[in-house]
Each structure stands twice: as structure tokens, then as C-alpha cells.
Amino acid sequence: MSTIQVLLVEDHPVVRRGILEILQRAPDIHVVAEAGKGEQALDLMRELCPDLVLLDMELPDISGDEVIRRGREENPQVRILTLSGHDDASYIREALKQGAFGYLVKEEVPEFIIEAVRGVAAGERGWLSRSVAANLLEQMQIL
């Protein structure tokens, strides 16, 4: 089994620590670096070429959307999974439009975060928290 190399991007140290502890539960996931700002994340993406970037959407210097856009422009192979406190449909659509492989909310259960990391690392798109999927369907007037 190969190890999934993850760059963890979260500006709140206590939240970043909690996410790190969740990811460390999985023997096939290794956090290679952590970043608290968007520019730092982009530098680490260039330097380390991780398999996956787990990205908070609200960063103090540049938006998560900008990190996704620039990261994908520089390396179209980079796989980005967002983990955000926001579940507004327009916010979610923009992240997915910029190239995120999935959008999870921070209230998500740890097991689903690990499963999503594995899925996105394998190239799967469309990983969404249930509340996010329901919100998008409601906006599309399906529910």
C-alpha cells in the first residue's frame, strides 16, 4: 500500500492540529507539511508536489479559491480537497469550478474525511459532505 502525501492548509492552529490527528489515524496517509496561509501553501505545493492538498477556504492572505486556481494552473495534476466552515452553494460552486475535487464541511465525521482523502488521492471527483450535496440540490430545485 502506498502512502498518500498530504499538504494540510488551515490557518487556525488548534483546528489544524485536530485535522492532523484525524489524518494520523490512517496508516496510509502522511501529512508532509502544514501551512497557515495561501501563499505558503502555494510555495509548499511547488516544493513538495504532494498527492493531495486538504485546503481550508478562508485564509488570512488569499482566498481558498485563489489557492485552488493558482495551484491548478501551476500543476494541473494537483488534487485539492476543501474542508471549510462555509456551506453556501455559491461558495461551493466556485471552489468546484476552480478545480477542487470535493468540498467537505468541518462538521464532517473523521471517517468520512479519511475516506474522501483516499478517494481524491485516487483521482475521484465529487466528494461532498451530505449537507453540501443537499444544499446544491436545493439550489438546483431538485429537493
Domain ranges of the chain: 4-139
CATH superfamily, region 4-139: Response regulator (3.40.50.2300)
Digit-by-digit pLDDT tens for the chain (143 residues) are 689 999 999 999 999 999 999 999 999 999 999 999 999 999 999 999 999 999 999 999 999 999 999 999 999 999 999 999 988 888 888 999 999 999 999 999 999 999 999 999 999 999 999 888 887 788 777 55
* Opening angle at CA 25, ends 16 and 91, nearest 5: 40
List Cβ neighbours of 42 (8 Å cut-off, separation of 6 or more): 67, 70, 71, 74
pLDDT at 131: 85
Instruction: Indicate the SS3 state at residue 38.
Output: helix
